[in-house]
């Protein structure tokens, strides 16, 4: 696979649909994490349909211990993490 992120491992918290798709298009293996499984799975399916690699995990990205545990899991599974992005949207009044 070619691209700016070829063979890189990227973790995107909050799903980050547009960014995750670009990471995958540029060759990264993308790990999506957030609280809305359906949204994550939709993005992962789109990435996979385009020939990319994506996995999903439901977690509360505001829970620091959950974020650290997931990063550890990804690093063990993929061998490393090259990019980590927080794409969490926060609504305010």
Structural domain includes residue 3? no
Residues 14-31: tens digit of each pLDDT: 867 899 999 999 999 999
What's the domain count of the chain? Answer: 1
Domain boundaries, position 46: 9-86
3 state SS of 29: strand
C-alpha to C-alpha distance for 9 and 89, rounded to whole angstroms: 22
Structural domain includes residue 1? no
The model's confidence at residue 2, banded by pLDDT at 50, 70 and 90, is: confident
* Tokens found for residue 53: 């690699």
The whole-model pTM stands at: 0.90
Structural domain includes residue 24? yes
Structural domain includes residue 92? no
What CATH number is given to the structural domain containing 80?
A: 3.40.50.720
Question: What stretch of H or E contains 10?
Answer: strand 9-13
Structural domain includes residue 91? no
pLDDT at 78 over 90: yes
Provide the residue count of the chain. 93
Residues 27-72: tens digit of each pLDDT: 999 999 999 899 999 999 999 999 999 999 999 988 999 999 999 9
């Amino acid at each position: 696979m070619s691209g700016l992120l070829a063979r890189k491992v990227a973790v995107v918290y909050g799903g980050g649909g547009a960014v995750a798709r670009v990471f995958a298009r540029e060759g990264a293996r993308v790990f999506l994490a957030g609280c809305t499984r359906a949204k994550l799975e939709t993005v992962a399916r789109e990435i996979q349909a385009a020939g990319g690699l994506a996995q999903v995990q439901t977690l509360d990205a505001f829970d620091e211990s959950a974020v650290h545990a997931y990063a550890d899991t990804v690093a063990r599974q993929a061998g490393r993490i090259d990019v980590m992005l927080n794409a969490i949207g926060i609504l305010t009044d």
